[in-house]
Structure 1
Amino acid sequence: MMNSIKLKGALLSVILFLMMLAVWHLATAPKSGMNQPDRVSTTTASSGNSEYDLLMGKGSKDVAPAQKSGFPTLTQMGETFYKQLSDPFYDKGPNDKGIGIQLAYSLARVSLGFLLALVVALPVGFLIGMSPLLSAALNPFIQILKPISPLAWMPIALYTIKDSSISGVFVIFICSIWPMLINTAFGVASVRKELLNVAKTLEVNPIRKAFKVILPAAAPTILTGMRISMGIAWLVIVAAEMLVGGTGIGYFLWNEWNNLAISSVLFAIVVIGFVGMLLDMLFAKLQKMVTYAD
């Protein structure tokens, strides 16, 4: 039954995807009967046919609608995908690196910031979950710091650290720590009393109790926090790299926009979404592995 539903869902997804491609094609295809100019002149300032004007749809009246809109056709998108993916690891200087290298920089920053948050959030979350007194003492600080946008910390990070790449890692650390901390504390505090009473009866030492009793019981909730944190981290790193520049998928996207390469911008958006989906699937798989059915 479940396999049948999954198969039908996959088929429906393919149909919806094909429908979106059809709408895209119809929206960007030139209207029939219109004369296509051999080339568009963009050299005369008085004509207003600058590259930016063409992108914004303010070009010459002789230009076809698909060209005036600046939105790429499916053929142009296919060419962009082929160009970017055929050689993803080329390096031709600071502002010209392949999408593979840019993704590697972003994933490295996300991984480092995420791991640092994990090192802090798990033990502190355990302490908060096991101690009502500590929970009451730290809760006001958590509630004040949690709603602050991670990007609001970027000026402070740049001022104190004075390194854009490390500042990006710090921002990932800040945005990743709260979901993991809160979910860990909640999972530990929600462990069934029967399990704790059995451990107490057997006189299990605190460290063994934490790893053998509390951690397995709280693992699904902890993995949920980690999954949420990774999603937020991947979301934030794109915006952070747009601000600090240099390298990364966010910088690649912003640099392509500055070059008015809309097809490359859309390509970057698709890559960001695809990588984010893979990361979420990874944590969903881990979450399923530690979840036990009653």
Structure 2
Amino acid sequence: MVSAVFHSPLEPQAPAGASDASKSIAANAHPTSAAGPKASGPASPPPRSDARQRWSALWLAVLPPLCGVGLLLGLWAVVSATTGQSIPGPLQTWAQAVEIFSDPFYRNGPNDQGVGWNVLASLQRVAVGFGLAALVGIPAGFVIGRFAFLSRMCNPVISLLRPVSPLAWLPIGLLVFKGANPAAIWTIFICSIWPMVINTAVGVQRVPQDYMNVARVLNLSEWKIATTILFPAVLPYMLTGVRLAVGTAWLVIVAAEMLTGGVGIGFWVWDEWNNLNVTNILVAIFVIGGVGLLLEWALVRLATAFTFEEVQS
């Protein structure tokens, strides 16, 4: 069979020898195209190993807190040195803390007890006052957020009473309850109820209107609306109010116990001040902060377990 190649009359014809020469020149100019695939460029650096990545993440997680603690200790040491040791330094406070916590549950009488008993007494008052505030505040927040008339009625009352100092409520408690312990519980109750009421009401008011329209179409009762629609949607707001309330309760109990006396971490601080034992006061400050941190951590874990949203500490 003979194959014919037709060329356009406008296309210039190249002689056969020139075509072969151009092919050889192209082959010499690009030896890789004829010999095989192109040579790869410089080798890319190998990816970091998993162990190195974990070590880097651990270092970034540990280094900033260590820097913060180191800065605090450095400032504390400088203040102690500039005040002529009237404020004990970190080493002296640490030695005193080791001595105190070597026997935190001793009893030498009603006014001489270990720091452990004082912390437990304060936690008991906080639990009672905070529990009563949750029993009243969370349902009240649901009702206030659900009904516009109640919301407009209660807003001025809440705005008026919420900024009142905790210590202003303590004399009212002493007058009504005729006792230091119930007066302290009353002070915790009245000061920790507002975050739960406000956050729960805001959560109810921010429920999408589509949910309520579906409930109206299905002719659901108020109990069904509260349990199947409102409660799951309001839970993140409610737990935020609980976190704020427990922090407020722990702050209030220290101030209340300073004035009411008895057994408690606040009374222990005031008693050490009367004895001019500043080192024990500094130890008590770290105890109060540590207990508050543990309470906050526990509530963050609780909120993370019961909500789909990430809760930041």
Both proteins in one fold, TM over 0.5: yes
> Which stretch shifts more, 257-266 or 195-204?
195-204
**Residue pair 2:79, 2:87 contacting (<8 A) in 1 also:** no
Give 1:227-246 correspondences, 5 Å limit. Answer: 227-246=243-262
Are residue 15 (structure 1) and residue 31 (structure 2) matched? no
Residues 83, 147 of structure 1: CA spacing in aligned structure 2 closer, same or farther, 3 A cutoff? Answer: same
Are residue 100 (structure 1) and residue 152 (structure 2) matched? no
**Residue pair 2:122, 2:264 contacting (<8 A) in 1 also:** yes
Deviation at 1:24, TM superposition (A): 4.1
Partner of 1:72: 88
Q: Deviations over 1:139-189 (max 9, x none)?
A: 221111111112101111111211101100000000011111111111111
What is the identity, as a one-letter code, of the residue corresponding to 1:110?
Answer: V
Partner of 2:131: 115
> Which stretch shifts more, 282-291 or 3-12?
3-12
Deviation at 1:246, TM superposition (A): 1.1
Q: Deviations over 1:40-95 (max 9, x none)?
A: xxxxxxxxxxxxxxxxxxxxxxxxx88x5322233321221111111111111122
Structure 2 residues not aligned, in runs of 5+: 1-52
What is the identity, as a one-letter code, of the residue corresponding to 1:71?
Answer: I
Deviation at 1:284, TM superposition (A): 1.8
Residues 279, 70 of structure 1: CA spacing in aligned structure 2 closer, same or farther, 3 A cutoff? Answer: same
> Which stretch shifts more, 282-291 or 205-214?
282-291
User: Across the two proteins, how many residue pairs are aligned to each other?
Assistant: 258
Q: Distance in 2 between matches of 1:258 and 1:287?
A: 41
Deviation at 1:119, TM superposition (A): 0.8
Indicate the SS of the match to 2:236: helix
Structure whose alpha-carbon radius of gyration is higher? 2
Partner of 2:100: 84
Residues 238, 293 of structure 1: CA spacing in aligned structure 2 closer, same or farther, 3 A cutoff? Answer: closer
Residues 3, 244 of structure 1: CA spacing in aligned structure 2 closer, same or farther, 3 A cutoff? Answer: farther
Deviation at 1:195, TM superposition (A): 1.9
Match of 1:194 among 193, 206, 210: 210
**Residue pair 1:216, 1:290 contacting (<8 A) in 2 also:** no
Are residue 148 (structure 1) and residue 164 (structure 2) matched? yes
> Which stretch shifts more, 153-162 or 13-22?
13-22
Match of 2:144 among 114, 128, 139: 128
> Which stretch shifts more, 169-178 or 94-103?
94-103
**Residue pair 1:89, 1:97 contacting (<8 A) in 2 also:** yes
Deviation at 1:4, TM superposition (A): 5.9
What is the identity, as a one-letter code, of the residue corresponding to 2:66?
Answer: V
Q: Distance in 2 between matches of 1:6 and 1:196?
A: 46
**Residue pair 1:116, 1:173 contacting (<8 A) in 2 also:** yes
Q: Percent identity?
A: 43
**Residue pair 2:174, 2:183 contacting (<8 A) in 1 also:** yes
> Which stretch shifts more, 132-141 or 74-83?
74-83
- What TM-score do the two structures reach when normalised by structure 1? 0.81
Deviation at 1:248, TM superposition (A): 0.7
Deviation at 1:28, TM superposition (A): 4.6
Residues 158, 6 of structure 1: CA spacing in aligned structure 2 closer, same or farther, 3 A cutoff? Answer: farther
Partner of 2:305: 289
Structure 1 residues not aligned, in runs of 5+: 30-64
RMSD of equivalent CA atoms:
2.3
